[in-house]
Amino acid sequence: MFFLIVGLLGAGTLVSLGVWQVQRLAWKQDLLASIEAQIDADPVPLAHAVAPEFQRYAPVTLTGTFGDGHIRMLASRKTIGPVHRIIRPFDADGFGPVLVDTGWQPDGVAVASAPAAALTLIGNLDAPIEADGFTPAPDLTANLWFARDVPAMAATLNTQPILVVLRDMPEIDLGVTPWPVDTAGIPNDHLQYAITWFSLALIWGAMTGYFLLRNRRGAA
């Protein structure tokens, strides 16, 4: 009786955890679909997407000129290897300077000078949380960063702590390939977790059946 009770309680707990992960999977899929729809929506003026509150992933349009300086951030592309994100200051008309993640270029390629002409950019607001206690401090001498730390980058380039990630190339070649915002970086492992819990429940049930059968044979 003891093995039966423990077996039922254990299997029931594991199954309930699997069901919870299935419910979380549905929630996460709905959330990702909502974010993707927001990312692909028609752009609005930058000021409308930051007030009265900051709208992460909101598509925005802004007109202005690139300022002096840039930041290189070490990153990686699956089929390419090490690359650099190039982040520049951009003085948006009627709004002020913000950060613009213009895209990536291969490691070892010199960063092109910023164009002096006025441009209209289309991108998405983002607030990446990439820096943590294990992230190396930026090498300011080599102008090499290891995470998009928006407040620190804004202080370095004298902009507001607002990051716009380009969606498409503007009319002038910036020497980079756009790396637009998407949902690829948002984890969605709930299916794997559900399979794990259900598998453990099956194993638990099989073990319970084995012990019950063995004890019955021993009693006989």
Q: What is the DSSP string of 63-130?
A: EEEE-S--EEEEEEETTTEEEEEEEEEEEETTTEEEEEEEEEEETTPPPPPPP-S-EEEEEEEE----
Per-residue pLDDT of the chain (220 residues; tens, 9 = 90+): 666 676 677 777 877 887 888 887 777 777 667 777 778 888 999 999 998 888 889 999 999 999 999 999 999 888 888 999 999 999 999 999 999 999 999 988 888 888 888 999 999 999 988 878 888 999 999 999 999 999 999 999 999 999 999 988 777 788 899 998 877 766 767 778 778 888 887 887 777 777 767 776 655 5
For 90, what's the count of Cα atoms within 13 Å in the CB-facing half-sphere? 28
